[in-house]
Every structure is written in structure tokens, then in C-alpha cells.
Amino acid sequence: MSAVRCVNLCKTYRQGDQDIKALDHVSIEIDEGDFVCLSAPSGGGKTTLLNAIGGLDIPDSGEVYVAGGRIDNLSKGELADLRLKQIGFVFQAYNLIPVLTARENVEFVMQVQGVPSAERRDKSNAILKEVGLEGLETRRPGEMSGGQQQRVAVARAIASRPALVLADEPTANLDSKTADELMELFTQLNKHHNTTFVIATHDQRVMTYAGRLIRMLDGRIVDDIDQRAA
């Protein structure tokens, strides 16, 4: 079954007097367990596509399916539920809640889901260990480096075992070494947990980790490469 299917998506933004086509009849299908990179220059439509897949933005037309269910016609509350239960998010910046510790940030989604306290604690400790942040559980975001913060965000995104993780420019604010470590982590999680990853990026090094690379330009898909075959 497809993890994600988009059919003929269109989205236009108005900027001043101009209409900007962020998505121009985009159709893609992503299988479960895929590791996909969406690549485009700034304004190419990759973040808009990612937001449409994550239920953060509603396309003007077209259909979006996540785990077999159509989501572009869901209400705000239903979309919030979908994001809470089925999708993990990693954003470019401002990923963490500043007043919560690393562990509390990881537990946040689980707590909103209603996971019991002891179970949350066990899962968050295990996942923080898995992403290499053992011993930093009680630190707040302001007391951690950018790389550590992104790892916490990744830990939060996968803690509740979502079928799909969407990451928008996750390495944009990281140095190359930390970026590589983060991508290694994504790769391991993809392999070990069969989690589907869709990563929007214009970082060439990030693209090399992807099994499938989708290039976009001006809101259209211009290339779809299976890098595993290559």
C-alpha cells in the first residue's frame, strides 16, 4: 500500500499582484518504507508539497492520500488528529518547545496522544539513547547545540512510531558533520523501523542518502530518480 499518494495537486499563492504557482498539477506516489528526498531551489514547491502531505496546508485542487485515506477534505480537527497519530514532523528551525526539557519535548506528542506516564518515560529514554542524547534528557533546548536540538526533534518525530516522517530542511542550520550524523540517523531509523521518510531539501549531500530523489521546479515535478537502482 502507498504511504502517500498525491493526485494532480495545485496550489497558488498571491504575492503582491502576482500569482505564484507553488504546486502545478503534482502527482506522486510514495511506498511504505521509502526514503524520499524532495529537491528544489527556494520557491520550487517542495515545502508546499510537504505541508500538503502533512495536512498543514490544503491544496486548491487535487487529492492527497495518507496511509490509504484521503486527507485534503478533512476538517481542521481531523487533520490535527492525523498529524498527531500518523505523522512525525521535523522542521528546519524552532523545532522544540523552549520551556520543556529534551525528554519532555520527546514526550510531548505521546502526552497529547494520552500515552501513560510510565510508558512515555520508557519510550523517550530509549529513543533519546537511540539518537545519541543519553544524559541530556533534562536539558532545555537553549542548553543544547543545534545538532542536539535536531536530534531531539527527530526523537520526538519517531517516538510514537508514526508511519510517516516529514522533514523540512532538517540540516539547513547544521554544520556538515552534524548534518551527516543526522542523515545517518534517519537512514538507520528508516531501515530498522521501516518508517517512511519524506525530506525536503536543497542540500546535495542529503540527497545522496535518499533511495528516491524527486526534483521539483516552479511547482512541477521535473525528475523522479530511483537512486537504489543507480
Partner 1 sequence: MHLFGILLRLAWRNLWRNHRRTIIMLGAIGVGVWAMIFMTALTRGMVDQMITDSIGVLPGHVQMHHPDYRDDPSISNRVSISDAALNEKFDDADFEAWASRVRVPAVITSERESRGVTLLGVDPAAERDISFFDYDEVEGRFLESASDQGIVIGKRLAETLETEIGKRIVLMSQDPENDIADRGFRIVGLYSANTKAIEQAYAYIGKTTAQKMLRVDDATTEVVFLGEDYRNVEPVYEAVTSAVDDTVLVQRWFDIDTYLGTMLGVMDGFVLVWVVVIFLALSFGLVNTLVMAVFERVREIGLMLALGMKPASILGQILIESMFLLALGLAVGNFLAWATIVPLQDGIDISVVAEGMEMWGASSMLYPKLYASDMILASGVVLLLGFLASLSPAWRASRYEPVEAITKV
- By CB under 8 A, tell whether 119 contacts partner 1: no
* H or E element, residue 216: strand 212-217
Q: Does 142 bind partner 1 (CB under 8 A)?
A: no
Backbone φ, ψ for residue 136 (5° rounding): -110, 15
Mark 71-100 with x for binding to partner 1 (rule: CB under 8 A) and - for no binding. Answer: -----xx--xxxxxx---x-x--xxxxxxx
Residues 6+ apart with CB under 8 A from 188: none
| Shortest spacing between CB 89 and partner 1, in angstroms | 6
Residue (140 or 220) nearer to partner 1, CB: 140
Task: Report d(CA 26, CA 10) in Å as an integer.
Answer: 7
- The helix (H) or strand (E) run that includes residue 73 is none
Cell of 54: 502533512
Q: Give the shortest CB-225-to-partner 1 separation in angstroms.
A: 28
Q: How far is 166 from 170, CA to CA, in rounded Å?
A: 10
Is 10 a binder of partner 1 (CB under 8 A)? Answer: no
Contact call for residue 151 and partner 1 (CB under 8 A): no
Query: Which residues bind to partner 1, rule: CB under 8 A?
Result: 51, 54, 56-57, 76-77, 80-85, 89, 91, 94-100, 104, 108-109, 111-114, 156
